[in-house]
Amino acid sequence: MGTHRRPKPPSRARIATLGVAAGAVSLLPTQSQAAPKPTADEVRKQVEKLYEEAEAPTEEYNGIREQQQKLQREVDGAQDRLARKQHEINELREKIGPLAASQYRSGAIDPSVQLFLSSDPDDYLDKAEALGRTGDRQTAALRALEGKQRELAQERADAAKRLKALNEARNEAAKKKDEVQGKLTKARKLLNSLTAEQRARMEAAQGREDAASGSSDAPASYNGPASGRAKTAIDFAYAQLGKPYEWGSTGPDSYDCSGLVGAAWRSAGVSLPRTVKQMYDAGRKVAQSDLQPGDIIYWYNDSQHNGIYIGDGKAIHAPRTGKNIEITQVSYMPFYAASRP
């Protein structure tokens, strides 16, 4: 009697797969199920978030650019030193006379020169002197040439190292630039997706929000209690009211947050580092209860956003892309710390 083999039951994984496949058809979106377009308020919140996310890489970009400029100056200096060393070597070769002439002019290498060009020129010179192969003046010239050649090799190595660091900084700056521009491009696309009516509603909502926060970018004159350098810095910042925020900019037509703070204090003869983080690290910290006009306010954290305290619970700052330099309440954003230049 033959055995009747029962069909193998499907595995649980197979059942789950079939179930998903069966349900997938009913889950496919139809025209009527398409996700609704975001409202003006939703777009505004997304755009604000993108602008806020762009601030940190902007400050990183500023720091890298500052490092890049320093490295560029070092590379330029190294190249100048290389040129001078090469000129000195060329002059020494001319002074060596017949010994060098056979190598550098006729191409016929004298045995003495061949020894000199070995891996240990000092050893050659010691032996040559012992054998009387060189005169005192010739020996001195050869020793000087050997020393300059070593210096030249060291300068070349240093220049190559600096050039490599410069290229790495350039690449890193380009990445940060792409990161910022990517977020700003996404924000622009969101704004462009709005109808004229939605845009008007969004701008009205932004206006109401600015009014609630006490923000204003209208031209004004400072009449607070600051004096000396702090007053000079604040007066400069006031003169920038209404100018646009532009990431990576230090003026005079536009600024980012740390660009404005640095330019204001520079007008008072105080040189500050370039980025929010560097300013925070370098400044003398003061408690919020001890704030004085001219102090630097840091919002969110120690590396994202800053401005200048002007008294009466207010600060002047360059807010973000799409907005102008303005006066706002310190409490409008999460206060993190303050420092005094």
Distance between CA atoms of residues 25 and 21, nearest Å: 7
* pLDDT beyond 70 at 224: yes
Confidence at 155, pLDDT banded by 50, 70, 90:
confident
Q: What is the phi/psi pair of residue 245, to 5°?
A: -70, 135
* Summary mean pLDDT of the chain: 83
Q: Which of 148, 277, 317, 320 is catalytic?
A: 317
pLDDT in tens, 231-255: 999 999 999 999 999 999 999 999 9
Enumerate helices (H) and strands (E) in the chain, giving the number of each. 10, 6
- Report the sign of the C-alpha dihedral through residues 109, 115, 117, 119, in that order: positive
Cα end-to-end distance, the chain, whole Å: 100
pLDDT at 165: 94
Q: Which of 65, 277, 305, 314 is catalytic?
A: 305
**Active site annotation includes 87:** no
Q: Which range (100-104, 124-128, 200-204) has the least confidence?
A: 100-104
Q: In the chain, what are the domain boundaries?
A: 40-192, 219-340
pLDDT in tens, 59-76: 999 999 999 999 999 999
Across residues 17-28, what is the average pLDDT? 43
**Active site annotation includes 4:** no
**Active site annotation includes 317:** yes
* pLDDT beyond 70 at 112: no
Across residues 253-274, what is the average pLDDT? 98
Distance between CA atoms of residues 226 and 295, nearest Å: 10
Q: Which fold, 219-340?
A: endopeptidase fold (from Nostoc punctiforme) (3.90.1720)
On whether the CB atoms of residues 206 and 282 are closer than 8 A, the answer is no
pLDDT at 301: 96
* pLDDT beyond 70 at 10: no
Q: Which of 257, 315, 325, 338 is catalytic?
A: 257
Across residues 272-292, what is the average pLDDT? 97
pLDDT at 202: 84
Q: Which range (44-53, 133-142, 285-294, 297-306) has the least confidence?
A: 133-142
CA distance readout (Å), 249 to 7, 54, 320: 74, 14, 12
Distance between CA atoms of residues 87 and 75, nearest Å: 18
In the chain, helix, strand, coil percent, each to 5?
60, 10, 30
Neighbours of 135 (CB within 10 A): 12
